[in-house]
Structure 1
Amino acid sequence: MAVPHPAQLFDGQSATSHDVKVEVRSDGLVVTGPAGQSRRWTFSGLEAASPVRPGETLRLKHTSEPNARLNLPPGLAADQVLEQASHVAGGFNPGKALKFTAIVITGLALFFAVGYAMLNIAPQRIAAMLPAEWRDKLADHTENAFIKDARQCDNPAGKHALAALAGRVAAASSETPDFSVRVFDMPFVNAFALPGGRIVLTGRLIKQADSPEEVAGVIAHELGHTAHLHPEASLVRNIGLQLLISLGTGGSGGDTLGSVAGLLTMLQYSRDAEREADDYAVTILTEGAIDPKGLRHFFEKLSKKEWSIATGKWKDLSSMLSTHPGTGERVEFIKPLPPGEARGVIPDYQWKALKKICS
């Protein structure tokens, strides 16, 4: 049977102290007043009202009565309380720990839920808020991951022809975003819009193209991805804000952006995004009097898988098709200009030079 010990209680309703008896039981304290009224304070709800020091009065409060104070003089009762409720002296409090854990878990769940929603529902809005400096650094990381040791195709005449062709596309609209185009000698057919307005064409694509209108159409299509911030939005969606912040502020993204396969996965666009890029391409090609039939012909070859790649690794344009889904179903959307409305993209001699840009 628990032995009552004398103590003083301040009930928080008046400044007067009350002489009480305290019993230390297995689950907490029973505090009995002079009139026989009692209250129970569980150990889990006990807190120190002032720093606990050996040989001094133990001043307690309880979560059930935050304004009340219980003063236990040094002795057996105080020692028993500190033994049963070690958290009072700064030890572990199971009740508080459980409550804190629940709060943390709930907070993390809400954080990740909101983060997931933002990354998947509004990635383009987030991408639009990225500083230009971050986009440039993201472009450096993604371009380095994609290009690796590939040689940039820099035949002078070919580069001049590419600049002329890109200039024709850029001049088609006053709202064309800033962009750059480079060609790299890579053993597969593909084109990419990277963050920061960088467009990359593979030398194999240039080699397999049948006309400057095809290349102009591809550039216009990739420019559509650039205008709609699809590359940045894709990175937001796939690698999240934390890594974007790390990359944008100078951190290393090598583990995430360390392979062509990984980058291909990140730059896969939805069919809706591809249609947006198609709409943009057809609009600026039409405004610039560049016949969209070149882009249509390019997509027709993709959908029919007419080309083959010498390495065998990228047969049937698997690289291009993997990053540009639904190509076949979009061909019918692209209509050629009426006879007499289209103008040449670049002269024939420049087209021949562009075809040799990687030589």
Structure 2
Amino acid sequence: MISGNEEFNDGKTAARHWVTVQLDTDGLRITSDADVIERHWPFEKLRAVEAPRAGQSLRLTCETDPDARMRLSDPVHISALRRQAPQLFLTGLAHPNVRRNASIIVLVLVLLGLLLWQGLPRLSVPIARMIPLAWEQDIGLAFRARLLGGAKVCDGGAGTAALSELTGHLTAGLAVAPEISVMVADRDMVNAFALPGGHIVIFRGLLAKAESADEIAAVLAHEIAHVSERHPTQMALRVMGIGMLAKLLTGDGSTLVELASEVGGALLLLSYSRDMERQADASGRQLLRRAGLSISGMSSFFTRLRENKAAEINLLHGYFSSHPPLGERIAGTDGNDARQPALNAEAWQALKTICD
């Protein structure tokens, strides 16, 4: 049996007491003169108040007496305690509490990841609406920069003005108009896509395939509808996954944008659900009607694409692979509505040649 004097505080007052500490076979027996203090701290219940350091005193508490503190300064006591209660001297992942907590954290992260991925159809809408608009716009810019790389942004003066005019007609039909930013990228891919925060990109290849401003208006209305429903942000949730949720919980917008930049290229690897696409088609038609524009552009564009699909399958893969079948979309947009053209001939020509 090893015994000696050590410093003790019962946690009820600020007073410090010198006590006699005996290391029994099953724990520490703590007593003082006149039996004012009498405690028994089992070895397995001992906890270090702070990480032990070589050559320094050891501060202890006990699970059965959590308010009390004792400072062991005698090297003999500390050495004996190292043999009897080795858990006090474990650090890092070797410590059972750390291992247990780390396991819990990993399990929670895995479950949250699965929840975000598998439960996205239900969760993405409320989570997307939690993101501040300023963050969403910055995230969209980060995605756009990553997706476009070094592609030139076309700015043809009159063509840019025509695009702004067309965008203004369509957004005027929104009950609550988000801030929409539309640009044309100098790439020959037949594609257009919407990003978080109202950023929309049209590729030069899509303009080249279109035969009228009404057809471009139909595509643009479709993408604006995606933005209005915050579909791009919901898809970004899938790409950024648990990292995005962690940033939301910590309120860290800057690193959220960094995360968007890192994973931006993966966004185009995902496709909107068919339900999202049908919703965007229906909302896009409403935008066209409210703007007083013809919806026949959708029908003519889809009809021509179906006729030329075999020859243009590679070009069309980017924009149309995830959309509802062309036959269904044509049936949904067919109509001989006599309305004003989306742009006059001069403005349409300027837009079509915006990258020249």
Given that 1:132 and 1:196 are in contact with CA atoms closer than 8 Å, whether structure 2 keeps it comes out as: yes
Given that 1:41 and 1:62 are in contact with CA atoms closer than 8 Å, whether structure 2 keeps it comes out as: yes
The 1-side partners of 2:144 and 2:299 are apart by 27
Cα shift readout 1:304-348 (whole Å, capped 9, x = no counterpart): 652756xxxx824121134x43343641552334554x3322223
The 2-side partners of 1:160 and 1:79 are apart by 81
Given that 1:293 and 1:334 are in contact with CA atoms closer than 8 Å, whether structure 2 keeps it comes out as: no
Give the equivalent residue in structure 2 for 1:318.
317
Seen in structure 2, the aligned counterparts of structure 1 residues 180 and 307 have a Cα distance that, compared at 3 Å, is farther
Q: Compute the displacement of 1:279 (Å).
A: 1.6
Instruction: Please point out which of 324, 329, 332 is paired with 1:331.
Output: 329
Seen in structure 2, the aligned counterparts of structure 1 residues 69 and 284 have a Cα distance that, compared at 3 Å, is closer
Q: Equivalent residue of 2:309, what SS? A: coil
Give the equivalent residue in structure 2 for 1:83.
83
Q: Is 1:208 matched up with 2:212?
A: no
2:301 is matched by which residue type in structure 1?
A: F
Q: Compute the displacement of 1:234 (Å).
A: 1.3
The 2-side partners of 1:249 and 1:113 are apart by 21
Q: Is 1:44 matched up with 2:44?
A: yes
Q: Is 1:281 matched up with 2:291?
A: no
Given that 1:133 and 1:248 are in contact with CA atoms closer than 8 Å, whether structure 2 keeps it comes out as: no
Give the equivalent residue in structure 2 for 1:138.
139
Q: Compute the displacement of 1:98 (Å).
A: 2.3
Gaps of 5+ in 2: 11-19, 30-39, 53-57
Given that 1:5 and 1:77 are in contact with CA atoms closer than 8 Å, whether structure 2 keeps it comes out as: yes
RMSD of aligned Cα (Å)? 4.7
The 1-side partners of 2:316 and 2:333 are apart by 23
1:293 is matched by which residue type in structure 2?
A: S
Q: Compute the displacement of 1:226 (Å).
A: 0.6
Q: Compute the displacement of 1:186 (Å).
A: 0.3
1:354 is matched by which residue type in structure 2?
A: L
1:85 is matched by which residue type in structure 2?
A: A
Given that 2:185 and 2:201 are in contact with CA atoms closer than 8 Å, whether structure 1 keeps it comes out as: yes
Q: Equivalent residue of 1:283, what SS? A: helix
Identity over aligned residues, as a percent? 26
Higher alpha-carbon deviation: 195-204 or 143-152:
143-152
The 2-side partners of 1:210 and 1:280 are apart by 23
The 2-side partners of 1:186 and 1:218 are apart by 17
- TM-score (ref. length: structure 1): 0.71
Give the equivalent residue in structure 1 for 2:167.
166
Q: Is 1:97 matched up with 2:95?
A: yes
Cα shift readout 1:283-322 (whole Å, capped 9, x = no counterpart): 111223322221133334445652756xxxx824121134
The 1-side partners of 2:99 and 2:247 are apart by 27
Q: Equivalent residue of 1:220, what SS? A: helix
- TM-score (ref. length: structure 2): 0.72
The 2-side partners of 1:156 and 1:117 are apart by 47
Seen in structure 2, the aligned counterparts of structure 1 residues 247 and 209 have a Cα distance that, compared at 3 Å, is farther
Gaps of 5+ in 1: 13-19, 32-39, 53-57
Q: Is 1:110 matched up with 2:111?
A: no
Q: Compute the displacement of 1:216 (Å).
A: 0.6
Q: Equivalent residue of 1:334, what SS? A: helix
Q: Equivalent residue of 1:291, what SS? A: coil
Given that 1:194 and 1:231 are in contact with CA atoms closer than 8 Å, whether structure 2 keeps it comes out as: yes
Q: Compute the displacement of 1:264 (Å).
A: 1.2
Write the mapping of 1:158-237 to structure 2, written as runs, cut at 5 A.
158-237=159-238
Cα shift readout 1:38-70 (whole Å, capped 9, x = no counterpart): xx9763323479999xxxxx9987546769999
The 2-side partners of 1:181 and 1:233 are apart by 20
Seen in structure 2, the aligned counterparts of structure 1 residues 61 and 231 have a Cα distance that, compared at 3 Å, is closer
The 2-side partners of 1:76 and 1:178 are apart by 72
Give the equivalent residue in structure 1 for 2:296.
293
2:210 is matched by which residue type in structure 1?
A: A
Q: Equivalent residue of 2:342, what SS? A: coil
1:256 is matched by which residue type in structure 2?
A: V
The 1-side partners of 2:257 and 2:124 are apart by 22
The 2-side partners of 1:235 and 1:124 are apart by 12
Instruction: Please point out which of 228, 250, 269 is paired with 1:265.
Output: 269
Given that 2:46 and 2:62 are in contact with CA atoms closer than 8 Å, whether structure 1 keeps it comes out as: yes
Cα shift readout 1:103-130 (whole Å, capped 9, x = no counterpart): 4422442355346535724223222232
The 2-side partners of 1:172 and 1:75 are apart by 80
Q: How many residues align?
A: 333
